Structure 1
Amino acid sequence: METRQLKTLLAIQSHGTFAQAADVVGLTPSAVSQQVHALEEELRVTIFDRSTRPPRVTPEGHQVLEMARDILRRAEDTKASLSGDQIAGTLMLGSVRSSALNLLPRALIQMRQRYPALKPSLRVSLSTSLIADVAAGRLDAAIVAEHLGFPSALRWSPFLREPLWLIGPPGMQAVDPIELLNTRPYIRFRSAVPLANLIDTELSRLGVVTNDVAEIDTIGSIVTFVRQGLGISVVPHVALQEPEDLGLSRHPFGSPQVNRQIGIVERTSSPRAEIIGLLHGALSELCGEYGVDRDATS
């Protein structure tokens, strides 16, 4: 098994056909086919079902492709380490669909400018899937909300601790937040994520009965609906960073005001700990007054 064969496999998957992959890796289609056949003979599996057009990856082939990605990434990281350039290679990163996600591109751009040999690879998914992939080594780290039941082999370090706000349209008369929640049309954040549960739990604890006019699964859309006057809602501070949000009415949500945390989960013995620490620092800095220093959580 050679790395050039593994690179060819990934090119076929990415580009769909042996011919297109051949152009990418600089070989003839016949040479690409020979590489795949040799690898299938060595592993004693069928990687591509050639009876379809384009060829379809078999179940065994998916396992081989996952192995190929892991081997090539480890080889790249080892070369970077041996050359003395630790801030290099590929950082396999996951993230939940959080309102804090808008911080991540800015942090990754900063990292790329400071460390041009570092190549981030991002996947957005659900927290349970991301946590499992970090534990299994398929991801180096993931950005997830505070979560119950992290495996003991993982470490979660918050970079953001922010308040939740009860928001209303511009010009809404300031009254008691409990009265607002009981009397005004309410836009509910409905999603299978910790933030939604955090908000609903506090609403229940406060004993309010909301007059729901909408259920929406993205915080950004909720802010837009509130801005246009449909109703009131509860959102995290990081969701209110656009200039047009400055005019929204804001009241502390909860008694005392509820906070939520977002952080990075990684393996406790991660070989990418230095890079993950730098990313944590960049994210914490972008969070401003609500950023959490990594050393403070160790």
Structure 2
Amino acid sequence: MELRQLQIFVTAAQTLNFTKAAMKLGYTQSNITSQVRQLEEELQVKLFERFGKGLRLTSEGKHFHQSAENILEQCEKAKSELTPDIFQGVLTIGAAETLCVNRLPKILLEYRKKYPRIEIRVQTESCYQLFQLLRTNSVDIALALAGNIQQPDMIVRTLYEEAMTVVISPLHPLAQQQKLEPVDLAAECLILTTEGCGYRPVVLAALEHQQVKPGAIMELSSVGAIKECTACGLGIAILPKIAVHDELLRKKLIELNWLGPPLDVKTQLIYHRDKWLSPAIQAFLELCETMGK
């Protein structure tokens, strides 16, 4: 049994797709299939089984997955203890779309200057999905835009308090009144992110507190799509101000003064309580906190 085989198996177990695992690791799909088959022959168990058109882990595969992750983590830990001053390896980050565009690039720029030998992988997901990725050790650390996060198995650190803003098209009938009360949404279409977005519950809770139900709701998974639909006059959006900064400057969107309850949203850094923090991860944590001050 080789460490390379364990890495291939763990990646395949995370993606449940040999093609995606091959792309992630830079191998051919046939190589992935061959290495998994050799591992199964050595262990004399079936690790994967076909489920419809996809793959899933067998019960033996699930048990071995945890063991394989532990072995790889211990190997990485041993290497870092022998060469503590050499920052190398892979850092995998999960992040909300808005943060990938507006917060993360500056952090990564500084990180790359200090630690050029570390390979960085970034995955964009919803807040809910980020928690799942952290629990399966598919990402090392996550950055989410959300209200107060209550997850007992996670360590959560606030980096930025984020202002939320109400935006509409300059051609929208409400553009002239320059303010928006929650009750105004009773006759309007509210354009929202899909379920799983960290700040969606904050917006809906504020409306529920005022006993207001929007006249209609349009859901889009992309913040970019939300901005375009809002600019076309399809409805009203409530988004982090950092996400609409450029559109406000170009007057593609205009901002209304929100007269409803406070919308408490933060950029938060999250990692699993049981995660072993390699030097690469610790360095990223320290840089995030320094830049967030």
TM-score (norm 1): 0.69
Task: Report the number of matched residues.
Answer: 271
- The SS at the match of 2:75 is helix
Asked if structure 2 preserves the Cα contact closer than 8 Å seen for 1:134 and 1:141, the reply is yes
Where does structure 1 lack aligned partners over 5 or more consecutive residues? Answer: 287-291, 294-298
State the partner residue of 1:110. 110
Cα deviation 1:87-127 (Å, max 9, x = unaligned): 332223333x4422323345334323321222233444444
Asked if structure 1 preserves the Cα contact closer than 8 Å seen for 2:159 and 2:289, the reply is yes
Task: Measure the CA separation in 2 of the matches of 1:98 and 1:254.
Answer: 27
Asked if structure 2 preserves the Cα contact closer than 8 Å seen for 1:188 and 1:214, the reply is yes
Asked if structure 1 preserves the Cα contact closer than 8 Å seen for 2:142 and 2:269, the reply is yes
Task: Supply the AA of the counterpart residue of 1:45.
Answer: V
Where does structure 2 lack aligned partners over 5 or more consecutive residues? Answer: 13-17
1:277, distance to aligned residue in structure 2 (A): 5.2
Asked if structure 2 preserves the Cα contact closer than 8 Å seen for 1:187 and 1:212, the reply is yes
Task: Measure the CA separation in 1 of the matches of 2:45 and 2:249.
Answer: 56
Larger radius of gyration: 1
Task: Measure the CA separation in 2 of the matches of 1:136 and 1:183.
Answer: 41
| 1:130-169 equivalences in 2 (<5 Å) | 130-135=130-135, 137-144=137-144, 145-151=146-152, 153-169=153-169
Task: Measure the CA separation in 2 of the matches of 1:209 and 1:58.
Answer: 43
- The SS at the match of 1:242 is helix
User: Does residue 176 in structure 1 map to residue 175 in structure 2?
Assistant: no
Decide whether aligned partners of structure 1 residues 243 and 74 sit closer, same or farther in structure 2, where only a CA change above 3 A counts: farther
The root-mean-square deviation of aligned C-alpha atoms, in Å, is 4.1
| 1:22-101 equivalences in 2 (<5 Å) | 36-37=37-38, 39-47=39-47, 59=58, 60-61=60-61, 64=64, 67-68=67-68, 71-72=71-72, 74-85=74-85, 87-95=87-95, 97-101=96-100
Decide whether aligned partners of structure 1 residues 71 and 246 sit closer, same or farther in structure 2, where only a CA change above 3 A counts: farther
- The SS at the match of 1:214 is strand
Decide whether aligned partners of structure 1 residues 233 and 154 sit closer, same or farther in structure 2, where only a CA change above 3 A counts: closer
State the partner residue of 1:185. 188
Task: Supply the AA of the counterpart residue of 2:162.
Answer: E
Task: Measure the CA separation in 2 of the matches of 1:11 and 1:73.
Answer: 13
1:211, distance to aligned residue in structure 2 (A): 3.3
Decide whether aligned partners of structure 1 residues 282 and 241 sit closer, same or farther in structure 2, where only a CA change above 3 A counts: farther
Decide whether aligned partners of structure 1 residues 219 and 254 sit closer, same or farther in structure 2, where only a CA change above 3 A counts: farther
Task: Measure the CA separation in 2 of the matches of 1:191 and 1:200.
Answer: 12
Task: Supply the AA of the counterpart residue of 2:181.
Answer: I
State the partner residue of 2:15. none
State the partner residue of 1:289. none
- The SS at the match of 1:143 is strand
Task: Measure the CA separation in 1 of the matches of 2:10 and 2:66.
Answer: 9
Cα deviation 1:226-267 (Å, max 9, x = unaligned): 222233221111211325654132134344542311211124
State the partner residue of 1:206. 210
After superposing the two structures, state which structure 1 stretch, 204-213 or 113-122, moved more: 204-213
Decide whether aligned partners of structure 1 residues 249 and 206 sit closer, same or farther in structure 2, where only a CA change above 3 A counts: farther
